[in-house]
Amino acid sequence: MAVTADAVKAKAAEVGFDLCGIALADQHPKLARLTEWIAQGRAGEMEYLAASAQERLDVRHSLRSATSVISVAVLYNTDRPYSAEGLGAGQVAVSRYAWGDDYHGVLRTRLRALLQWLSDTAGPGLEAFTCVDDGPVQERVYAEAAGLGWIGKNTCLINPGVGSWLFLGEVVTNLELEPDIPGVDQCGTCTRCLDACPTEAIVAPYELDAAKCLSYLTIEVRGAVEESLRPAIREQVYGCDICQDVCPWNRRAATSTTPAWQPRDEFRAPRLVDLCRMSDDAWVTALKGSAMKRAGLHRLRRSLAYSAAGLPPAERTMALDALRAQPSARASVVADAIIWAGTRP
């Protein structure tokens, strides 16, 4: 039985995807930007990007017979205020995508269901693999090519109907499916994301220096953060949503009631001191099934210490004493961060 693009989209919606489009498995022009971006040092410590560059430049290096990329998206925005709208005294922000359950597992389950349907419907001869954002596919390029939106000046995929709070996934396949019309850039003259970035990581429209981005600094950097960048880790203690918070396309962004994306109690507008007071065991429990596991306990404690440096003296002392009291403080990256924060003017 022939599989049609319309049937794929209908099934994608049925298994829980909010958006679905088709792109050709071609070398789209924007894919080639990756090589120069890495050469400029924009990837920082993310060496896996260079190691998988060949696959990222052309999905046919991963699946030689690939002709189509089915791009899907899930909305994770919940009906809660954005961090850029103002946090209360002593409050800090955890990136919205990490409030609930780890999206990798949720999306993989839905992708498996879609792939099983493709296998059952297409029959023998189907070749395909699925991918979430930890695989060698430049997902935003294919999502734009598949008409799911456009890559904005903040380098996030923006959909004109639902905004940019989207998890992306793909099915790369040898099925010949009718491609969609690519998304059209609608950022216009707006520069709010560039103007709002606290570390000037968006160095130019559509160009992100990941090595300066707070998301990279609080999640990807394994050791100590460069000292000149530590003061920027204030309210944003895990990830950063500022460039999306200020985006006009997110003023009326759609929201999801999916239980998996609702914030856990620990991350519902938390106070920094309270996060510091959480025991190591409590953190381990809170991180179960969470995307925040990527950073791990020591990196999280390190970032909390950097953030505590910006507190008033009395609160800073309480926060650092709480961090110092836990076994994780014996890790050099945490201990050094506590010492640095305690000596700040």
Active-site annotation, residues: 133
Which is nearest to 307 in space by CA: 91, 98, 80?
Answer: 91
Rounded distance, CA 334 to CA 342, Å? 12
Query: Angle CA(8)–CA(143)–CA(85) in degrees, nearest 5?
Result: 120
Both ends of the chain: CA-CA distance in Å?
70
Q: Please answer whether residues 70 and 22 qualify as being in contact, where contact means their C-beta atoms are separated by less than 8 angstroms.
A: yes
Query: Is 39 buried (19+), middle (13-18) or exposed (0-12) by CB count in 10 A?
Result: exposed
Beta carbons within 8 Å of 172's beta carbon, 6+ residues apart = 25, 59, 62, 63, 66, 68, 69, 70, 128, 129, 130, 131, 137
Query: Angle CA(293)–CA(197)–CA(43) in degrees, nearest 5?
Result: 55
Look up residue 103 and give its amino acid. Y
Q: Please answer whether residues 257 and 97 qualify as being in contact, where contact means their C-beta atoms are separated by less than 8 angstroms.
A: no
